Amino acid sequence: MPIVSPLQILASIARAHVAPPFALSSANVELSDAALVTQHLAGDPHAFAELVKRYTGAVYNIAFRFTNNAADAEQISQETFLRAWRALPRLDAQRPLKPYLAKIALNLCRDWAAQTHAQWLDLDEQAEILADETGDPFENLSDQELRTRVRAQWAQLPPLYRTVLALRYSEELSYDEMAAALEMPLNTVRTHLRRAKARLRVLLEQDNET
């Protein structure tokens, strides 16, 4: 029979009794935004860093779609998280965080537009855009080619349309969340989205013709 030291016995007892809760707590379970916000407010320095890692891509994407400039998008992203950090103690932790961050980012985008005198939306874009809806102008394009052209033409859209499309399709926000983030009535958001798609279609048709 092997000789077992008292230390080994103690270690095995500790493993038997202590392992289950440790295993549970160390499991790689992704915490919800609300849990991370609560942990941050309780003083956990890693909780907000986790939120930054989780949403940097989304915030940067929104800022870039608006500004079309990497440096400005980075600066807006940085300021977005700083403002969110300051505002978190007043925020309802149960509310989804992504639309809230989008709202901060879009407010900063508005400030950026005011500073750089960039137009949110060209005046001629305010009118209803009528795309040719007869036939399929892209029938000669494969899905891959269409995606490539959409990516290229996206940059030609006004900032607001680029942003609305990004919020809806890249960030998958609901109409309500988009309305909250853009601080616009729901119907206005729907109108902008419809016009953005119509405008994109016109650009694609023009590109297809040339």
Partner 1 sequence: MKRELQTPTDERLEQALRALPRVKPANDLAARIIATLPPPRAAAHARALGALMALAAALGIGLAYQTAFDMSMRGAFDLLADYTAQPAIVTLYPRQAFDALAQAIPWFMVALSASALGLAAFLAARLTARTRAALWQRV
**Cα(210)–Cα(17) distance, rounded to whole angstroms?**
74
83 lines the binding site for partner 1 (CB under 8 A): no
Residue nearer to partner 1 on the CB measure, 60 or 182: 60
Interface with partner 1 (CB under 8 A), residue from 85, 186, 207, 208: 85
How many Å apart are CA 201 and CA 203, to the nearest integer? Answer: 5
> 105, 173, 181, 200: which one contacts partner 1 (CB under 8 A)?
200
The yes or no reply on residue 20 touching partner 1 (CB under 8 A) is no
Burial class (CB in 10 A: 0-12, 13-18, 19+), 3: exposed
Tokens found for residue 146: 């269409």
Least gap, CB of 106 to partner 1 (angstroms): 16
Q: Does 49 bind partner 1 (CB under 8 A)?
A: yes
DSSP per-residue string spanning 151-191: HHHHTTS-HHHHHHHIIIIIS---HHHHHHHHT--HHHHHH
Q: In angstroms, what is the minimal distance from the CB of 94 to partner 1?
A: 21
CB atoms within 10 A of CB 63: 29
197 binds partner 1 (CB under 8 A): yes
Q: Say how far apart CA 96 and CA 37 lie, in whole Å.
A: 11
Residues that bind partner 1 (CB under 8 A): 18, 21-22, 25-26, 40-45, 48-49, 52-53, 56-58, 60-61, 64-65, 70, 73-74, 77-78, 81-82, 85, 89, 133, 136-138, 143, 146-147, 150-151, 154, 165, 168-171, 194, 197-198, 200-201, 204
